[in-house]
Structure 1
Amino acid sequence: MRLTQRVFSFLSSLLGHLFQTLFSFLKILLRPLFIVIALLLYFVYKIAELAVTLISLFLAIGKLLLAFIKGIFVTLAGFTYTPTTPHHGQWTSIFINVAGGFEKFQLDKIAYILQFGIWFGTAFAVVRIISSIRSGE
């Protein structure tokens, strides 16, 4: 029994050493291939990460642009004045909110100047549109 135990121990150590040597040889032999595969996968990962970042950036810019355009139209649509008596009137709530926000920073006079500029710019644009329609351009 002692002899069979030694034979099996010798065979198992021989096979273990053989497989360890084979594994070390394959590891050395295939290391450049593993490095190239890892580099390619990392490159693909970085390209995908860049694409996701660019898509999220463009979506954020689009949301910002839509919010800006909506804000301009809502603000311009809200600048109306309703006269209640010959000497008194009431601004719409949007302009009251804008003027109230500027008043906290003592810029309410600038709000009225900006409103005049918006009205003047709108009137100028309307005149240009009407004149281009009349002349047929």
Structure 2
Amino acid sequence: MGIIGSAFGKLFNVIWSGIKWLGQFIKNLFQGLIDLLVGFFKVIYALIDGLLYLLYKIGMLAVKLFELLFETAKLLWSLVVGFARTLASLSYSPRGSSGTGYSEMLGKLFANLSFLQIDVVAYILLFGLWIFTAVAAMKLLSSIRVGGD
């Protein structure tokens, strides 16, 4: 290699150094812009992620609230049905075709005791017994703890 080869080598090195410097300059110039864009989209992504998480938690809260209201309605309905059945069972009607003679015998007994007029007292006592049982059941249910508190 002579003088011409070494001159082209040095020229190539200078040109190559200039291209590397220009590439580094363009990289540094656009790196700030790219970092700015990436940071902006990270913030946007975090906001969207937080909003979707908030909507998810609101949905979970709505489901739990609906379950609570549904269970409360079921409890109230059971209380109303129990009260209605108790009131319906207050009137005794003897049946003779039940297969046992107890119904007919109790019917005759109640028919003969009507002159004592204790049926009102029996109704009041039966109602009081039902209320006492309902209150005791509610106290028992409210004392049960769910979970590992």
Tell me the TM-score normalized by structure 2: 0.48
Counterpart-to-counterpart distance in 2, 1:14 and 1:111: 92
CA displacement 1:53-75 (0-9 Å, x = unmatched) = 11101101110111111111111
State the match for 1:18 in structure 2: 18
Counterpart-to-counterpart distance in 1, 2:78 and 2:8: 95
1:52 aligns with 2:57: no
Q: Secondary structure at the match of 2:46?
A: helix
1:66 aligns with 2:95: no
Identity of aligned residues (%): 12
CA displacement 1:82-108 (0-9 Å, x = unmatched) = 4679799xx9xxxxxxx9xxxxxxx85
Counterpart-to-counterpart distance in 1, 2:28 and 2:141: 79
Cα 1:112–1:40 change in 2 (3 A) is closer
Contiguous gaps of at least 5 residues in structure 1: 92-98, 100-106, 114-137
1:110 aligns with 2:139: yes
CA displacement 1:22-77 (0-9 Å, x = unmatched) = 11111222233223212211111111111111110110111011111111111111
State the match for 2:33 in structure 1: 33
Q: Which has the higher contact order (CA 8 A, sep 6+)?
A: 2
Cα 1:55–1:20 change in 2 (3 A) is same
Counterpart residue identity of residue 40, structure 2? L
Cα 1:33–1:109 change in 2 (3 A) is closer
Counterpart-to-counterpart distance in 2, 1:38 and 1:109: 59
Structural RMSD (CA): 3.8
Counterpart residue identity of residue 26, structure 1? I
Displacement over 6 Å in runs of 4+: 84-88
State the match for 2:101 in structure 1: none
Shift of 1:10: 4.8
Which structure has the highest strand share of the two?
1
Cα 1:12–1:68 change in 2 (3 A) is farther
State the match for 2:78 in structure 1: 78
| Number of residues of Structure 1 aligned to a counterpart in Structure 2 | 96
Cα 1:78–1:63 change in 2 (3 A) is same
